[in-house]
Amino acid sequence: MRVAIVTDAWEPQVNGVVRTLGATCAELRALGHSVEVIEPSAFPTVPCPTYAEIRLALATPGAVGRRLSAFEPDAIHLATEGPLCLAARVWCLREGLPFTTAFHTSFPDYVAQRTGLSPEWFWPYFRWFHGAASAVLVSTPTIRAELAKAGISHTRHWGRGVDHSLFRPHGPAHPAFEGLPRPILLNVGRVAVEKNIEAFLKLDSAGTKVIVGDGPARPALERAYPEARFLGVLAGEALAAAYRGADALVFPSRTDTFGLVMIEALSCGTPVAAMPVPGPLDVLNDEVGCMDEDLSRAVAGALGRDRALCAAYGAGFGWRSSAFQFLAALRFVDRVGMPVAA
């Protein structure tokens, strides 16, 4: 099968969406499928307002359509709700071609955090964007239910996975952890206001707080919390070593739709402390994590979890099964009617 994936989020961005799409592409190709990724680097870009590290593509429907048409896909998936996928959406509708979308990120909540406006101001756009899709792929039952309440009910499940050759319980801890007071409490992800990292940094807890990642909130948080260790972006073995070396992963976000870092940490044997919100509610159980509105209680509970049970639970998340779920949700294009590239 020939699968075209259009996405506004791609390398060199480091986030769960990019890791999910990269792992999915790798699995699809390993299964013998041909995958074309249409992403911002192929077009002129401008920095995203309030988040200059993210580049937004300036692409017309015709420019995106020519690339899609030249690839002659059997299925088209629009992974994000940004300008590149918006252009692809316009072209697909104009040409009468079906496509699927995905709800990776709760952008109404993210934008509300950055603007101070109610999320309800932004839902009409997302209902409109996803309304034309043949199916909207979602990662958890809780998000599926929340989208249904928001008027988006044509959803299909698409779970997440872990690279178990990398995220494993046995191996060295990150050298930056040597000599740090225990327990080491780790946060991994984008350092931005919507991730609620300050709720973690404010905790009056023993040990050391470590932040892995980068983002627009990092300079201010480093100044406000000099006792915390900010390691920047880590990837590959270095990230796995950070997970292994921590006593708990603290996941304070209230806006994530899944939280890929939670299952990566669990696969390394590290328990998770989180809020009882979408994402953690679907991913965690009482044996491998602790959820509480009082984050300090969640941390105390997580520190008592059995690391072997965490690793065994994390081993149940695989990218191959995720790729099969992705394939099952796709809608096929009648290539006989597909326009020829100019």
- 155-191 pLDDT tens trace: 999 999 999 999 999 999 999 999 999 999 999 999 9
Q: Say what the pLDDT of residue 108 is.
A: 57
Residue 340 in this model has a pLDDT that exceeds 60: no
Residue 338 in this model has a pLDDT that exceeds 70: no
Nearest to 56, CA basis, from 39, 68, 78: 39
Q: Say what the pLDDT of residue 194 is.
A: 87
Fold of 175-316: Rossmann fold (3.40.50)
Per-residue confidence band for 210, with pLDDT thresholds at 50, 70 and 90: very high
Nearest to 167, CA basis, from 243, 245, 262: 243
Residue 64 in this model has a pLDDT that exceeds 60: yes
Q: Say what the pLDDT of residue 111 is.
A: 62
Q: What percent of the chain has pLDDT over 90?
A: 83
Q: Per residue in 80-102, pLDDT tens? A: 999 999 999 999 999 999 999 99
Task: Among 3.40.50.2000, 3.40.50.2300, 3.40.309.10, 3.90.226.10, name the CATH number for the domain at 2-161+321-337.
Answer: 3.40.50.2000
Per-residue burial over 317-329, b = 16 or more CB atoms within 10 Å of its CB, e = otherwise: bbbeebbbbbbeb
Residue 149's SS3 state is helix
Residue 337 in this model has a pLDDT that exceeds 80: no
Strand partners, 77: 5, 100
Q: Say what the pLDDT of residue 122 is.
A: 77
Q: Say what the pLDDT of residue 116 is.
A: 65
Per-residue confidence band for 335, with pLDDT thresholds at 50, 70 and 90: low
Residue 48 in this model has a pLDDT that exceeds 80: no
Length of the chain measured in residues: 342
Higher pLDDT, 121 or 94: 94
Q: Per residue in 244-277, pLDDT tens? A: 999 999 999 998 889 999 999 999 999 999 999 9
Is there a contact between 153 and 147 (Cβ–Cβ < 8 Å)?
Answer: yes
Residue 52 in this model has a pLDDT that exceeds 80: no
Dist CA 105 CA 89 (whole Å): 18
Q: Is the dihedral of CA 276, 104, 252, 261 positive or negative?
A: positive
2-161+321-337 shares its CATH topology with 175-316: yes
Q: Say what the pLDDT of residue 104 is.
A: 85
Dist CA 269 CA 167 (whole Å): 9
Q: Say what the pLDDT of residue 107 is.
A: 62
pTM of the model: 0.90
Dist CA 327 CA 316 (whole Å): 20
Pairing of β 51-57 and β 45-48: antiparallel
In DSSP notation, 230-288 reads EEE---HHHHHHHHHH-SEEEE--SSBSS-HHHHHHHHTT--EEE-SSTTHHHH--TTT
Least confident of 41-55, 134-148, 212-226, 256-270: 41-55
What are the sequence ranges of the domains in the chain? Answer: 2-161+321-337, 175-316
Q: Say what the pLDDT of residue 341 is.
A: 38
Per-residue confidence band for 120, with pLDDT thresholds at 50, 70 and 90: confident
Distances (CA, A) of 339 to 34, 62, 231: 20, 11, 49
Nearest to 198, CA basis, from 295, 104, 53, 299: 295
Q: Per residue in 99-116, pLDDT tens? A: 999 998 766 565 656 666
Dist CA 274 CA 332 (whole Å): 39
Q: What is the mean pLDDT of the chain?
A: 92
Nearest to 205, CA basis, from 164, 258, 166, 252: 252
